[in-house]
Structure 1
């Protein structure tokens, strides 16, 4: 079985949907990706800042599995690194199946998983119909109905499968480059499944 690895890295200094691929990114403990609009100890995503700018930033680093790009391609969508706003594109790692608190060593820098990315309507704004690739009903049927906002009460009751990656905070900083192996350390049990953050 292939070893989990980093495929590509991306960052962007401005708040926009996609990020720019880079040769490397620098992670800073407790902050996120150096030079990225979403770096900070407090929440940086604009919708969350409007709700409460004093929330801790649980979305410092966004990771997506490259296998999602294969699923998208099968449905006629061609995606490239950074297109979905991810900082780290991985391969051969079931990101969505890992529990909350999992540590991922990205070749020196370490991130701790905090939750799932909640797919939003911006995905369809980027590519019409793409939301159905990253969101499905509990029975697996794709849907292009937006998921409830993480600030709404429905977030805990909506039975949806979210496939748009995971969010993490930086535990140990350093440079992340493509082709680095990823080492997974699970938290002590009992494990808690990832939920949208």
Structure 2
């Protein structure tokens, strides 16, 4: 029996990692996702929180930010507005194309490449370091929530975060298949 079709699909534009806590990440040929940990060789790898502000608040929190994904379409908008930005510069591990990541519900499962599986946990909070890309870029990271069925809210769109359910390598050009969670679909919040 053939597998059910995905709810949505897109692809991997580029992959990135940094062994140090830097804002931007270096583009590499491939990354390996490790189940329950994140991106091998990345500073945010681990079952417990690794982001500095969250470690300071409570180092025993589970790491719901093992993998950071940003849609290339957002980067295109920033470039069209006259700023210089490249994949990996916003600190993402995976730059995608063809998916509106911010509009996906919490718990969506993304199959990246042949074996890697990431469960989305929430939105990345746009941080002040984005101002280094250029004047006005931080403001571009927020949109009226009407676009996502959330009227009256400002929704951050600097990417989504997830945890690794199944590991494996991913590289530029790999397909991404999205499956929605069962039950009521809940919009993602900041994690």
In structure 2, the partner of 1:152 is none
| Bigger shift: residues 75-84 or 58-67 | 75-84
Residues 141-190 of structure 1: per-residue CA shift (max 9 Å, x gap): xxxxxxxxxxxxxxxxx932211010000000010011011111110021
1:17 and 1:126 in contact (8 A); partners too: no
Residue 173 of structure 2: which of 179, 182, 189 is its match?
Answer: 179
Residue pair 1:69, 1:78 contacting (<8 A) in 2 also: no
Give a deviation string over 1:48-69, Cα, whole Å, max 9, x none.
1000101000000000000001
**What corresponds to 1:190 in structure 2?**
184
Measure how far apart 1:139 and its partner are.
6.9
In structure 1, the gaps of 5 or more residues are 141-157
Q: Following the alignment from structure 2 to structure 1, what is the Cα–Cα distance between the partners of residues 142 and 26?
A: 24
User: Paired residue for 2:4?
Assistant: none
Indicate how the Cα distance of structure 1 residues 120 and 66 shifts in structure 2: closer, same or farther if over 3 A, else same.
same
* 1:165 aligned residue: 159
Counterpart of 1:109 in structure 2 is 116
Which residue in the other structure is 2:138 paired with? 131
Size of the alignment, in residue pairs? 179
Relative to the length of structure 1, the TM-score reads: 0.86
**Larger strand fraction of residues:** 2
TM-score by length of 2: 0.89
Cα distance between partner residues in 2 of 1:124 and 1:165: 16
Change (3 A) 1:180 1:139: closer
Q: 1:26 to 1:91 in 2, by over 3 A?
A: same
> Which runs of 5 or more residues in structure 2 are unaligned?
1-7
Comparing 183-192 with 27-36, greater Cα deviation is found at: 183-192
